[in-house]
Amino acid sequence: MSIEKINDFRIGIIGYGKMGKMVQQIAFANEITVQSIIPSIEKLSHNLVENCDVLIDFSHASVAPRLIEQALSFQKPVVSGTTGWKPDVPLLTDLALKNKTAFLHATNFSLGFHIYNKLVAQSAEWLNKLGGYDVAGHEIHHNQKVDSPSGSAKTLAETLLKHFPQKKQTLYDTSYSQIDQNELHFSSTRIGSTVGTHTVMFDSFCDTIELTHRARTRDGFALGALKCAQWIKGKVGYFTIDDFIDSMKECCEVVS
């Protein structure tokens, strides 16, 4: 995945932890100017962000809403990857419109994962129509991960329930008896330092189809955030990562 070369594109980084530093590193490698680094809420000022085209936020749920509202009121577009809070969509939409600027939030900036989710949706629809197929999912993450199943496994399970309607609910735990045919089994394994692997399996009497997405590093999250930052420059309103992916529809239609 590459980043488009845009002359004189300047970003500000809000939150200077692991992800903020990764965004800085990927920006540097792609000749994007990091105009400002805002490591804490006290440091956010109009002067500091004045010359930034877009601000990228990877901070903390306890401060992100205030930082974002302030940045939008400075008429700066914001791309936020901070998790653990639920954006107030009407409030942020209003603020973006009022200040003629834009806001985009995503809990997972791996663009590959979102494309994979779309492939899963399309495959589920076709195979559901064809008939004779069952479906299940599996995810693997490192043994320090605090949540199980992963948020991405939940996203995939939602996709499958929507596009493979013979499955009515998801079973994330072990089935100690025969599984209900309406249940989608989505299991988890925790091992070593695996960054994140998700697999969806469709199985029929004749064959098995396996679709896998395997994340390797944090670079993908930073790349995704930077691509979204380039995309929202000049836009007005509230956006999600799906809006960005859907904007690539034209190129996808050529491929299909």
Ligand X SMILES: NC(=O)c1ccc[n+]([C@@H]2O[C@H](COP(=O)([O-])OP(=O)(O)OC[C@H]3O[C@@H](n4cnc5c(N)ncnc54)[C@H](O)[C@@H]3O)[C@@H](O)[C@H]2O)c1
> Site residues (CB under 6 A) for ligand X?
15-20, 39-41, 58-60, 62-63, 81-84, 106-109, 221
- In angstroms, the CA 199 to CA 42 distance is 43
Tell the smallest beta-carbon distance from residue 26 to ligand X (Å).
13
Contacts of 30 (CB under 8 A, 6+ apart): 3, 5, 226
Is 75 buried (19+), middle (13-18) or exposed (0-12) by CB count in 10 A? middle
- In angstroms, the CA 64 to CA 199 distance is 32
Question: In this complex, which beta carbon is closest to ligand X, that of residue 101 or of residue 152?
Answer: 152
Residue 53 is classified by DSSP as S
Question: In this complex, which beta carbon is closest to ligand X, that of residue 16 or of residue 172?
Answer: 16
Catalytic one of 21, 118, 145, 154: 145
Tell the smallest beta-carbon distance from residue 84 to ligand X (Å).
6
Give the position of tokens 């979102």. Answer: 114
Tell the smallest beta-carbon distance from residue 43 to ligand X (Å).
9
Question: In this complex, which beta carbon is closest to ligand X, that of residue 106 or of residue 120?
Answer: 106
Give the position of tokens 């495959």. Answer: 123
**3-class SS of residue 13:** strand
- In angstroms, the CA 10 to CA 233 distance is 10
Catalytic one of 141, 185, 198, 213: 141
Backbone angles phi, psi at 182, to 5 degrees: -85, -5
Question: In this complex, which beta carbon is closest to ligand X, that of residue 137 or of residue 196?
Answer: 196
Asked if 145 is an active-site residue, the reply is: yes
Tell the smallest beta-carbon distance from residue 37 to ligand X (Å).
9
Asked if 141 is an active-site residue, the reply is: yes
- In angstroms, the CA 138 to CA 200 distance is 7
Question: In this complex, which beta carbon is closest to ligand X, that of residue 19 or of residue 127?
Answer: 19
Tell the smallest beta-carbon distance from residue 242 to ligand X (Å).
14
Residue facing ligand X at closest CB distance: 17
Contact (CB, 8 A) for 214 and 142: no
Name the token pair of 25: 């590193």
Contact (CB, 8 A) for 189 and 139: yes
